[in-house]
Copies of this chain bind each other. A is one copy, B any other.
């Protein structure tokens, strides 16, 4: 006998939680499609040679390699070791790059795709960290160039997603890497790597406090003038609290170097279009401290936080990149993308009690008191199913109380009783477990009646 168990670091849900998770996936997909993104799915296994073009280091240490008994190692890792030919994707961006480069001639640009699949990382074992997790990504890929206007569509889509997910107030925060770079240059921090190091320190303000970070930046390892450090700390503290305030804070930066001016112009255009797309101004803001992956993003960058749960960190992030697929094609493919890590988010929402166990996907349970009535029950079930109601039939007679208890525990709303009396009259008795209500209705009217009840609850919600 072997103990049934999953490997560490994976999320597996009981049905009612899986239903809640599936509804989130459905909501995300529906809104991605609403904004004109097209579905893509890629294989979970990629050729190692294709997957690990630029990596080495941390990424490669976390990659899962795949091998069947028949196959042999025949690819090379970054440091020249032989590694298996296949590996599991660790994000959806590298597969997107491969996909777009491979199918370039067959795609229309700008190419707007969404992808919602699982990715794999051999993370250190830790609560709330997953080795298998869903990413839900949207990206717009241009050929040769891509207007900054697309940078406004992604937050609008994300606004629609999180509004419908109904997990509380949230803010999509924006910054721009050109603005950051231009500002740092103006403070004498011109070198890109040095900027990255400074930003890494600056990132610690939340945890270690402003004074700690100021000391480090002034101290011997950085040696920045204290005046510059103060300006940097002021700058990265900027947040806007309304659309006008955001525009005012951009204006307040004044004329600067080319990079700064360009960043300001881009942010301004993106803000205006986000507004034109109908996103309420309470749901977006400037945050000059956002940097994201510094070697990758080149323009707009996004993070999204739940207003009442800042400790959860960013629940949806992304940005603008210069060239998606330079390892696979000579075409220049600039893009902008944003990603929701749904498995971790779901875990966080459960921990914060922001998502609850869902009702069953089953809407109606037809009970069974006498096996002789089974054919009538099955015929009624067929009618309900044809009318779009998810219906389960108890196939073997048992005590009614037990069947009601099952429906209650399972989160099934309507319990239908079709007894001798009801069959004689052509009716059904319905108990609405949510409204704790009971009524009798003609079988021919049952489907319509239940649909009306469900529709009313949906609207009232």
A contacts, CB < 8 Å to B = 1-7, 10-15, 18-19, 21-22, 33-36, 38-47, 49-50, 53, 60-71, 84-86, 88, 97-99, 101-103, 106-108, 110, 112-113, 118, 120, 122, 131-132, 147, 149-150, 153, 156, 160, 272-273, 276-278, 325, 327-330, 360-362, 374-375, 378-379, 381-382, 385, 388-393, 395-396, 406, 409-410
CA distance A60 to B67 in the complex (A): 12
- The distance from the CB of A39 to the nearest CB of chain B, in whole angstroms, is 5
- State whether B43 touches A12 (Cβ < 8 A): yes
- The distance from the CB of A36 to the nearest CB of chain B, in whole angstroms, is 3
- State whether A379 touches B276 (Cβ < 8 A): yes
Q: Which of B7, B61, B385, B390 contacts A69, CB < 8 Å?
A: B61
- State whether A374 touches B273 (Cβ < 8 A): yes
Q: Which of B64, B102, B131, B329 contacts A5, CB < 8 Å?
A: B102
What residues of chain B lie closer than 8 Å to A108, measured between beta carbons?
406, 409-410
What residues of chain B lie closer than 8 Å to A360, measured between beta carbons?
38
What residues of chain B lie closer than 8 Å to A41, measured between beta carbons?
12-13, 18, 21
What residues of chain B lie closer than 8 Å to A329, measured between beta carbons?
1, 4
- State whether B6 touches A43 (Cβ < 8 A): yes
Residue contacts A-B, CB under 8 angstroms, 14 given:
A5-B98, A15-B40, A19-B39, A33-B362, A36-B362, A36-B390, A45-B120, A45-B131, A60-B69, A64-B66, A64-B67, A69-B122, A147-B395, A149-B395
- Contacts A7-B45, A385-B34; A40 near B67 (Cβ below 8 A): no
What residues of chain B lie closer than 8 Å to A107, measured between beta carbons?
14-15
- The distance from the CB of A138 to the nearest CB of chain B, in whole angstroms, is 13
What residues of chain B lie closer than 8 Å to A102, measured between beta carbons?
4-6
Q: Which 10 A-B pairs have the closest CB atoms?
A: A36-B392, A68-B122, A10-B43, A4-B328, A15-B38, A4-B102, A4-B101, A276-B375, A278-B382, A149-B395
- State whether A38 touches B4 (Cβ < 8 A): no
CA distance A106 to B379 in the complex (A): 31
CA distance A362 to B42 in the complex (A): 21
What residues of chain B lie closer than 8 Å to A328, measured between beta carbons?
1-4
- State whether A61 touches B67 (Cβ < 8 A): no
CA distance A361 to B114 in the complex (A): 12
Q: Which of B60, B66, B113 contacts A66, CB < 8 Å?
A: B66
CA distance A22 to B38 in the complex (A): 11
- Contacts A147-B395, A395-B147; A67 near B69 (Cβ below 8 A): no
What residues of chain B lie closer than 8 Å to A390, measured between beta carbons?
33-36
Q: Which of B18, B132, B160 contacts A38, CB < 8 Å?
A: B18
